[in-house]
Every structure is written in C-alpha cells, then in structure tokens.
Amino acid sequence: MSIITQIRNKAGLMVILIGLALVSFLLMDVFSQNSLFNQNNSNVIGEIDGEEITAPMFEERVEEAVENYKANSKTDKVDEATLSSLRDQVWNELVRERIMKNTTSDLGLAVSREELFDMVQGSQIHPSVKQAFTDPNTGNFDRNQVLKFLREIDQQPEEMQNKWKAFEKYLISDRENEKYNNLITKGLYVTNFSAQTFMKQVFETASGRFLRVDYSTIADSSIEAPEDELRKWYQEHAWEFKSKEEQRNLDYAVFEVKPSSDDRDALLKKMNEIRMAWLSTDDDSMFVVMNSEQPGDDKYYAQTGLTDETRNKLFGDTIGALSEVYQDGNMYKLTRLARRMVRPDSVKARHILVKVKETETEETARKRADSLLQLVKNAGDFASLARDNSEDPGSGTNGGDLGFFAEGAMVKPFNDACFEGKRGDKLLVKSDFGFHVIEITDQKGGRTMARFATVTYELSAGTETYRVAYDSASAFVSRIKDKDGFEQEAKKSGLEKRSAEGLKTTDRGLAGLDNTREVVRWAFRSENGNVSPVFESQRQFVVAILTVSIPKGIKPFEAVRSVVEARYKRDKKAEQISKKLEETRKKEGNSVERMAIGMGTVAQTYAAVNFGSGFLNNIGMEPKVSGFIFGCKKGTLSKPIHGNNGVFVVVVDSLTPMPKEAEQGPTHGNLRNQLKSRVAGEGLAARKELIAIKDERHLFY
C-alpha cells in the first residue's frame, strides 16, 4: 500500500516527465534526417513538367515492366542490373508520356472512339492487334478471334480486363504520336540549294600536299598556365562545357580484404576434418552436397581427358581412394574416386516420351509410362507404340528412334541409363521432360572411364580479417579533413587514390567495383569536401571524398580545370608552332617540301578528300583542315591551320568536280527520308529541352 501511496503523491511529477520525454522525442524527429517532417522523406520520386511522380505510382509501373519482362524472357528471376534498366525504361516512358500528352493536347490531336474501333476491329487494324491475334500455326490474322475476345471480355478475370484497358490506352497513345510525327514530317522540305550543297560535299574531292607539326613536339611542362589565364580561357569557351544533367566528381580509396595466413590455416584445419569424416562414409554424392561450397560433378572422364594431377593419380587407384587436401588457384579441394567402369563411346536407342499433363498427377503419368514399358517387355511393337503414344514429335514419327548419340548429348538421367545399361535393356527413366520408356538398341566402342567426387572451398577472408580491414578504413576516414588530406593519407597508407568523374544519378556504381551504387547515391546527397562513411563492396571497403558538384548547365571551372589546362596549353603550342612556320615560310619560300625540311618533318600527300567527311587520310578527323582545303585557291599555300592533331599547312593541287550523274540523282528524296527518320527521336528530344524534369530516383534506389 505504501508504494501505491508514493505513486499517487508523485503522479504530477511523472506526468511532467512523460510530457518532456514526448516533446524531446518529437523534437528529435524534427531535426533528424529521417524525420516525418523532413521533406526528404517525401514519396515524390520526381517531377515532369510540373507533374509529380510518386514512388507508389512509379513502383506500380516498374512491377508491370518486370512482369512483362519475365513473361517475354520466360524467367522467374530479375537481377539487379536488369531491374535498374527496367526502372530507366519506365522513367523514360513516363517522360515521353507527359511530353506527348501536353503536346497532342495543345495541338488538338486526339483519337475518337470510332477511330479506336477501326484500329481494333475495323478496316485499319493496328499492327499490335494483328500481332496479338495472329494464329501461330498459320501465321494469319484472325479477326473473328478479336470479336470473340471482345464479346467475352466482361466474363474475363479483372486482371485481364485491366490489361485490355491498358492495351487500348497504348493504341491511342501510339496513334496520337503517329499523328504528331506526321505533322512534322509533312512540313519537311529540301531546297535545290541544300541538295546541291550536300552533293558537292560528298562528291567533290581535292588532292594535294601538306605538312604537319605535332603538338607533342613541344613539352607540356614548357608551357606556363597562370590561373587567371586559365579562368579567362574558360570564360571564353564556357559554352563548350554544357552538361544536360547533374554530375559529381569524387576521389576514393579501396581497402582490399585479402585472406590472411590465419584464414588459410583455419580452412586447412576444416578441410582435414572434412577428410576424416569422409573416410567413414560411402555416400559420396550426399557428402558433397552437405559439405562442399560448389556442386558435385557427375560426369565420367577418360584418363586422357584429365588435366589435373590429383585426378590423374586417383584414376587407377582403388574405388573410394581419397586425396589429401590440395590447392587449385584460390580453391582448396578434396577429391575421391567414386566409380570406374567401361562405358561405350556412343549409344543407339529409341524411346517413348510420356509427359505429365496439367490435369494429372506425376504418379498417374508414371503408371501410363509403366504400362507402355510392360507392353514393350512383352514383345510389343516398340515402333508402333512410339508412333501412337510418344509425346516427342521429333522421334515419335520415326518409331522413337534417336539414332547414335555421344556421351552428354542427352539429359543426364536419360544419358546415364543408356551409357550404364547394356544392349537390349528396356527401362523407365524420369527426366525434366517427363517419363521415358527406353530400349537400348546398340552400343559402339568402349573405354574405361571414372567419376570423381570433389569437396571444394574457396579461401576467403574471415570475420576477423574483415574487422581489421574495416577498422583501417574507419581510421582513414577519421584522419581526413579535405581533398589534400585525402591524397596525403592515401599515399601514407600505401593506397592508390582513384578518381571518378562525371558520375550521373543513374550510374550503378564505380567502374570496376561491384555493389557500389550506395557510393553514387551518397555523392548526390553530399556537399563538396564531404568524406563518405565506409562503404562495403565485394571483398573491399571504399572511402570517398566529394571533390566537385556539377549542376545542370555550364560546368564549373573546378570540374573541368584539367581539360581547360590541356586545351589552353594546346592553343599556346599552336601559336608557337604557327609563328615558327611563318618564319620558316619567309626563309624557305612557299614550298611545302622546303618548309617541311626547315621544320624538321616531311611533306605528305592527301587524295580524294571531301568536305563532308572532314577526314584526312593517314591522319584522322580534321574538319578545320578539310574546310581550309575547300576554301583555298588551287596552288596557293595556306596559312597555318590549328587542327586536332597539330598545326597544318596545305596546298591544293587538283579539284575533282561533282560528276554529272550525281547532279541528277534522287538527292531530294534521300535527304528528305533522312530527315523523316530523325523526326520521332529528335522531335521528342526538342520538346524535352523545353520542360523542367526533376529526377530524384537516386534518393530511393
């Protein structure tokens, strides 16, 4: 009773304490990253032209895509890479839908119910409808099947009704897109001037001579690059560094988790214990299943086909002989001689296949197969029974005859029955295809072969080794304050500092490292100079520092500094080389050959160069040089040209005009068809540039 009295007396204090605890909890939630009030906890995965895309809606679409993928690829599993690709497809489709929805609406493009009727069951059947209702046996479209399906749609399961509604929605969208593309296509026109210019660029060619002085003739280290000059160059060329999406640059170090000597000793001890246990059992197959990291090998091998020393030694030993523990690369193994026998080189057999029908149990199918086996054993006509009963269309019509086949050509149960049996045997075998009534009709050749059972374990790092590596990575993180500190600590720790530039939100990870998607996600949630936590990759730990955040639009100077410096130095080299070329011209005259000698190089020739390709034989793409060639007067030495690979001086010796037959070719039609082929992709891309797209999938995946 005294305890109850104390509780009553202090009830007020308890209420206050509980109230303070609740307030503290709420405040903690408000200021934490996982707060219910934190906007990052939103279920909005992105925004397209002002319309929010929620995570549940996006996931529903992804699930549909996954189910379609499974159905089309006939698989039950989808790996992470495929799932990521499907997410990208769904997102791109949502972008396309939103763009085209607004576009077709603004233009007044629509599909009436009458038009939809015509596409599904009228005179203008949509190709997708034809594909869905084409008889696979005849390859012909069956309109009656469409009508039958639509009459019975109300009796179909709700899932099927929803799929049909989605299909109709797709048909409408596809037709609206077709109308939009047709509007653009009908407005395309190629002028005579455009056609003639194009033909000249393709068919008019030039030949002549040139000299080239490579930029590499001047060392980078000899060119000074003051910071203010680099920034000035960047400002003048900023338009060249435009990014269509956010990117991140980061430096990172990798801590390898390698097995230690203790890990090796522990594995050897374990393998020797397994060896002692194996000596006391004869059930090799089950022992391998229970004790090996890798599945067993049930194949038979001739001694001439063995490549490893251990199995070669065991081949002639007594059955059950067991090897010592041995190393094969990064694997530790134990191998036992499980069986040795004489097996034919090839077998001839015939069979009757009995499949398990959807309407029956496996036992019922076995009884049907067993009754056929009894008929065969009682001198029944195998060929007739196979023709009448076999569900293997390939061999059934031939009386079940499979001809001669080598070891491994058939599924394993069938193969083993034929190669372990003898001529004249009649037996029943089950495989993934069903039940096989088999008769071995002939066998050829014969050689001694052996089957081995092997227990395999990979030498891998243990828990303690992982802990040591993780502690090293954690200590590394604690010592880093900035980018310079990262580099110094990496060097001090004997680690290679690696860099990743231009990372996008959709990148799956760092090049060459598995399971590093979380590093990319971290980079887009962090600020410049932030050091990451320790990330685990496959047998590795990764620590990163975010060096540059690149917004959509013009990349900041820091993000492209190395490129700017290289380009700046190239321009300075070009100026120096050009100046020397002009001095050489004054000294040697307007001869390409004499100028080349004066510059310590050799003159070269070019032939059949056209303006359209911008390609110089034996040099590569040089559009500026190509432009000068077709802008020079014949026989006139050009001024120095700053090309991609060096500084050039060219002279045109001959020009081959466009042939008459080229002038009369179907240029207008060809050019217009080229433009038409670009309408669908570029039309959508142009509209995409005009709208705001916010993709925040990286916050969720």
CB neighbours of residue 533 within 10 Å = 13
Return the amino acid letter for 627.
G
- The Cα 258–Cα 466 span in angstroms is 9
| Helices (H) then strands (E): counts for the chain | 25, 23
Q: Which long-range contacts (CB under 8 A, 24 or more apart) does 277-282 make?
A: 278/322, 278/334, 278/336, 278/455, 279/322, 282/320
CA dihedral (588, 590, 594, 596) in degrees, to 10, reads: 110
Q: What is the largest CA-CA distance in the chain?
A: 120
Distance from C-alpha of 320 to C-alpha of 76, rounded to nearest angstrom: 40
* In contact, 419 and 410? CB cutoff 8 Å: no
Question: CA–CA distance from 196 to each of 265, 339, 666 (Å)?
Answer: 79, 80, 11
List the chain residues with pLDDT less than 70: 1-41, 137, 661-666
30-49 burial, b if ≥16 CB within 10 A, otherwise e?
A: eeeeeeeeeeeeeeebbebb
Q: How distant, in Å, are the alpha carbons of 25, 39, 405, 521 from that of 35?
A: 11, 8, 68, 19
pLDDT one-digit tens code per residue, 472-494: 999 999 999 888 899 999 999 99
Q: What's the CA gap between 326 and 333, in Å, rounded?
A: 5
Question: Which residue has tokens 């399971």?
Answer: 515
Predicted pLDDT at 153:
86
Q: Are the C-beta atoms of 608 and 201 separated by less than 8 Å?
A: no
Read off the pLDDT of residues 165-213 as tens digits, 9 standing for 90 and up.
Answer: 888 888 998 899 889 989 888 888 888 888 888 888 888 999 999 999 9
Q: Would you give the distance in Å from CA 114 to the centre of its chain?
A: 43
Helix ranges (H only) for 279-356 are: 284-291, 309-314
For 278, phi then psi, to 5°, come to -70, -30
Return d(Cα 376, Cα 427) in angstroms, integer. 10
Name the strand (E) or helix (H) holding 335: strand 331-343
**CATH classification number, 346-444, choose in 3.10.50.40, 3.40.50.720, 3.40.30.10, 3.30.70.100:** 3.10.50.40
pLDDT value, residue 33: 38
Q: Contact at 8 Å (CB) between 287 and 454?
A: no
Token code pair at residue 532? 């990451």
Q: What is the CA radius of gyration of the chain?
A: 38
Question: Side by side, which strands form the sheet with 51-54?
Answer: 51-54, 44-48, 693-695
Contact by Cβ (8 Å): 141, 125: yes
- Contact residues for 610 (Cβ-Cβ < 8 A; gap 6+): 201, 202, 203, 204, 205, 206, 626
Contact call for residues 438 and 353 (beta carbons, < 8 A): no
Give the span between the Cα atoms of 505 and 245, in whole angstroms: 9
Instruction: Name the CATH architecture for the domain at 245-258+462-551.
Output: Roll (3.10)
Per-domain residue ranges of the chain: 2-38, 113-186, 205-239+561-656, 245-258+462-551, 261-343, 346-444
Topology match between the domains 205-239+561-656 and 346-444? yes
Q: Are β-strands 615-616 and 604-610 bridged in parallel, bridged antiparallel, or unpaired?
A: unpaired
Please tell me the pTM assigned to this model. 0.67
Encoding tokens for residue 404?
């001669």
Helix (H) / strand (E) element for 39: namely: none
Q: Tokens at residue 456, please?
A: 């395999």
> Which amino acid type is present at position 196?
Q
Predicted pLDDT at 665: 59
CATH topology of domain 205-239+561-656: Chitinase A; domain 3 (3.10.50)
